[in-house]
Amino acid sequence: MNRLSLHFLIGKMRPLLWKTRLGARLRIVPLRMFMDAGVRLVAEGNARIRCAHGVHLDRYVTIKAGPRARIDLGADVYLNESSRIVARSAITIDEKTMIADAVSIFDHDHRFIDARIPMSAQGFACAPITIGRDVWIGSHAVLCKGITIGDHAIVAAGAVVTRDVAPYAVAMGVPAREVRKRSAS
């Protein structure tokens, strides 16, 4: 067996290990997904992480679900190296969506309303994130709480998404704005 097929086989086996470790809170289809070395899955008290078949988690991907949070990755979702998804409420990514390297997706902010109290003691403001199907999120983009990204949209590299992105839109910049629509050609 050559190195490439061994790497692929180990990547297919790794989810079995995680399933044992996180038990019922991790709902996956072990042999039908790929998990590279250095992937970190964390599900705190009653959280749920669900991966459909064909999900690909590349090297050093981190997926963290805080207490009672939900993370759902649809079929054939691809997370590239060093991307992270951290949920305290809910994050859903629909099928065939591609997340490039070092993308950050957070469905919460630290509360900071009262300047007399340390922010670390003020808890979190949370709102779910929904990413549609066949979406492409460019490298180093940051997705903030409460947004929805429509089906077939593109978020450019380095964008910070603070508002919804419409289906088929191409959005870029900080904060991200729609610059055009994709067309069928």
Ligand X SMILES: CC(C)(COP(=O)(O)OP(=O)(O)OC[C@H]1O[C@@H](n2cnc3c(N)ncnc32)[C@H](O)[C@@H]1OP(=O)(O)O)[C@@H](O)C(=O)NCCC(=O)NCCS
Does 170 participate in binding ligand X (rule CB under 6 A)? yes
Options 7, 53, 108, 110, the catalytic residue: 110
Does 157 participate in binding ligand X (rule CB under 6 A)? yes
- The binder of ligand X chosen from 173, 175, 181, 182 (CB under 6 A): 173
Does 135 participate in binding ligand X (rule CB under 6 A)? no
Question: What DSSP string runs through 117-176?
Answer: S-GGGS-EEE--EEE-SS-EE-TT-EE-TT-EE-TT-EE-TT-EE-S-B-TTEEEETTTT
Look at strands 48-51 and 70-73 and give their pairing. parallel
- The binder of ligand X chosen from 100, 126, 135, 161 (CB under 6 A): 100
Query: From the CB of 113, what's the least distance to ligand X, in Å?
Result: 32
Closest CA to 129 of 112, 141, 111: 141
Given the complex with ligand X, which of 66 and 138 has the nearer CB atom? Answer: 138
Known catalytic residue at 110: yes
Does 102 participate in binding ligand X (rule CB under 6 A)? no
Given the complex with ligand X, which of 101 and 109 has the nearer CB atom? Answer: 101
Q: CA 21, CA 28: separation in Å to the nearest integer?
A: 12
Q: CA 22, CA 42: separation in Å to the nearest integer?
A: 8
Does 105 participate in binding ligand X (rule CB under 6 A)? no
> What does the DSSP 8-state code read for residue 55?
-
Under the rule (CB under 6 A), what is the footprint of ligand X? 80, 100, 138-139, 154, 156-158, 170, 172-173
